[in-house]
Structure 1
Amino acid sequence: MRPTRRAIVLAFVCVLAVWLAATFGARSLNAVVVPGVVALAAGAIQLRLADRPTIDRRQPTAGFPGESRTIRVDIDADDALTARIEEVVDDGLRTDFSPAKRALPATLEYDIELAERGEYRLGPLTLTVTDVLGLFTKTFTYAKRTPLLIYPECYRLTGVDSAFGGHDPFDDREAFDELREYVPGDSLRDVHWKSSAKRDDLVVMEFDSAADASEVTVAVEAVAGYDDAMATAAASIVTHLLDAGFAVELVYPGGRIEQAGGDPQRERVLRTLARAGPGRVESTDAAIHVLADAGGTHVTVADRETPFDRLTGARPTPAAADGGRRS
């Protein structure tokens, strides 16, 4: 507990009045001393006996870059106190919060703009409470830090057909079956140029519409500094697959999400990718492979590679998330 400047001035006036009364016999100065001493004692006792205010913070929901969240903290106190409210907000979060002075109980509200993928923290929160006369202050610190998760940017895949030669490899209506020799009449769009160069002869991709393609594994990797691009591509592809009815398994640097489908899997994948860092994955037979490095972000399906930007048609400008997808 600390005295405010007001208390220091009041105490000085009381001491001065006592000295003047003792020196010059001006007993009327007691009318100043007694109320001043009473006020100082009352303020000190009030803060000494004051219970610690209680804090009830509403957990903010995770979201996508470009969205915003209103942070709400309810502060309850049994005593009539005034408090200066301060809260630490992680760098990377855009906020209009500034320290505020409120009479307790009170509700603190401020807005946060979700900017970049990652896990951020709100807090610790500090209350500097003052007695009703503003003579003493006491500080309470609430060390708990509340997490706020920002998903990676997520885009609709609009250029899949053109990027993969007129065939959507993410569509469960057809599944890649094998490579075979080119025969007259085959579409050049189905030619697998990498394998053709190795064999010195044209080979084409054969698709089997009867194959069971309801399950798929996606493996994602990134070199240091390109994990945001990896997360964006992975989130976009997995969302596309889940929407098409696939059960998806995700292999990422440092972990794996077991195969599942539906909205619960979407949530698991997005939360994981919000935190995922750079790195490589162990050798896997994943049907879809994503690699982000200095050369860009590339997606490989059945040995056929394409830049991720081609799958989105053109990289869209930030917009409100639409069902977990950028429009």
Structure 2
Amino acid sequence: MRLTRRGYVVCGLIVVALALGLSFGPRALNAVVLPAAVALVAALVQVRRAVAPTVERTVPGDDFPDRTGTVTLSLSVDRSYPATLVDSLPFGVDGDAEVDTLVGGDPVSYDVTYRRRGEHELGPLTVVASDVLGLVERELVAPGTDSLLVFPRVRRVSTGTRHDLWALYDAQVSPRREEFDGLREYVRGDSLRDVHWKSSAKRDDLIVKEFVAETDASSVHVSAGGARSAGDQMAEAAATLCLTFSSSGIPVKLTTPSGVVNATAGDDGALLEHLARADSGPVPDDSADVVVTASEAATRVRFGDTETTFDRLVAPGSSRGGAGGALGEVPSTEVPA
């Protein structure tokens, strides 16, 4: 326990009152010293009886860098007391996590802004307990942490790059297009070249031709790695390329030094969660359809007969803040076979 500034002022008043009492009689002593001393003793007793609360922390959902969310703290304790709460924030998450409140009262909240990808832990909570007059304070620690996940940044690739990437999938599927198998209704991810226009006109709905080999869905393999200090660059490039495929209805196999993810078309969550936690290291499979190699100097991408830097593949002025660029630019009528 320690005195606050207000507590030191009260102690100073007591000293001054004692001096005045010695000079002018006990009446000055009774008028100031006794009430101040009682208040100080009461403050010491109140703060000494304070115990660390049980904390239930509600964190915002997984999101991209530069997004803001709200953390809510619900504190349970047998005896309420005023306090200043200071929640421990990790590197990669910004926010003003200091709140004055009544422990045991209504829940309190503060805002955080995501800065860097990764899995970040919030807590433990420091509780600076005080008395009602603010004379004495005591620091307590409420154990317990909660985590939140920050995805890598996702950029928007240029139109030319998008079609070059789609060609990788076409190159896998086209050689296996064997005999005609039947007709079915159009679903997102089908190519317009497979539309059976005569049947579509009769049924007033898009009908596509299905081939025997298409019953076995293929995927595009993306393998990413790089220098230990370039993990964020690796994750950003891999996320951008993977989501370009996934949002176009193309399954993706992703390999990084941290493991393998087989994502069905549209399963962006599995890809983003893996890349949020992925560590850098050697590229796991140099023979993949798309190979990403990151370093502090540049992030290089190789696919087909093309090898270039990642920055040359993205659209000029593309946003670096979230997934909207990669996910929102692909019309459903332009997806490949």
Equivalent residue, structure 2, for 1:174: 173
Equivalent residue, structure 1, for 2:83: 83
- Alpha-carbon separation, structure 2, partners of 1:287 and 1:162: 15
- TM-score, length of structure 2 as denominator length: 0.70
Are positions 1:125 and 2:125 aligned together? yes
Q: Relative to total residues, which structure has the larger helix share, 1 or 2?
A: 2
Q: CA deviation at 1:18?
A: 5.3
Equivalence map 1:259-274=2 (5 Å):
259-261=262-264, 265-274=267-276
Are positions 1:230 and 2:234 aligned together? yes
Kindly indicate whether the alpha-carbon contact (under 8 Å) linking 2:237 and 2:310 is maintained by their aligned counterparts in 1.
yes
Are positions 1:155 and 2:155 aligned together? yes
Equivalent residue, structure 2, for 1:99: 98
Query: Structure 1 50/292 Cα, relative in aligned 2: closer, same or farther at 3 Å?
Result: closer
Kindly indicate whether the alpha-carbon contact (under 8 Å) linking 1:80 and 1:131 is maintained by their aligned counterparts in 2.
no
- Mark the runs of 5 or more structure 1 residues left unpaired by the alignment: 178-207
The alignment's C-alpha RMSD in Å is 3.5
- Alpha-carbon separation, structure 1, partners of 2:162 and 2:269: 27
Are positions 1:113 and 2:113 aligned together? yes
Query: Structure 1 23/233 Cα, relative in aligned 2: closer, same or farther at 3 Å?
Result: closer
Equivalent residue, structure 2, for 1:300: 303
Q: CA deviation at 1:131?
A: 0.6
CA deviations 1:182-239 (Å, max 9, x no partner) are xxxxxxxxxxxxxxxxxxxxxxxxxx99564523432112234433332122112222
Kindly indicate whether the alpha-carbon contact (under 8 Å) linking 1:171 and 1:244 is maintained by their aligned counterparts in 2.
no
Query: Structure 1 296/113 Cα, relative in aligned 2: closer, same or farther at 3 Å?
Result: same
Equivalent residue, structure 1, for 2:61: 61
- Alpha-carbon separation, structure 2, partners of 1:323 and 1:306: 21
CA deviations 1:163-187 (Å, max 9, x no partner) are 46xx62235883468xxxxxxxxxx
- TM-score, length of structure 1 as denominator length: 0.72
Aligned partner letter, 1:317:
S
Query: Structure 1 219/283 Cα, relative in aligned 2: closer, same or farther at 3 Å?
Result: closer
Are positions 1:277 and 2:279 aligned together? yes
Query: Structure 1 10/94 Cα, relative in aligned 2: closer, same or farther at 3 Å?
Result: closer
Q: CA deviation at 1:151?
A: 1.0
Query: Structure 1 27/217 Cα, relative in aligned 2: closer, same or farther at 3 Å?
Result: same
CA deviations 1:33-62 (Å, max 9, x no partner) are 332332222222222222323322112211
Query: Structure 1 311/176 Cα, relative in aligned 2: closer, same or farther at 3 Å?
Result: farther
Equivalent residue, structure 2, for 1:38: 38
After superposing the two structures, state which structure 1 stretch, 60-69 or 25-34, moved more. Answer: 25-34
Q: CA deviation at 1:266?
A: 2.7
Are positions 1:241 and 2:245 aligned together? yes
Equivalent residue, structure 2, for 1:192: none
- Alpha-carbon separation, structure 2, partners of 1:88 and 1:133: 27
- Alpha-carbon separation, structure 1, partners of 2:293 and 2:233: 9
Q: CA deviation at 1:112?
A: 2.4
Equivalent residue, structure 2, for 1:185: none
Partner secondary structure for residue 59 of structure 2: coil
Match of 2:289 among 287, 290, 299: 287
Partner secondary structure for residue 111 of structure 1: strand
Kindly indicate whether the alpha-carbon contact (under 8 Å) linking 1:219 and 1:281 is maintained by their aligned counterparts in 2.
yes
After superposing the two structures, state which structure 1 stretch, 221-230 or 59-68, moved more. Answer: 221-230
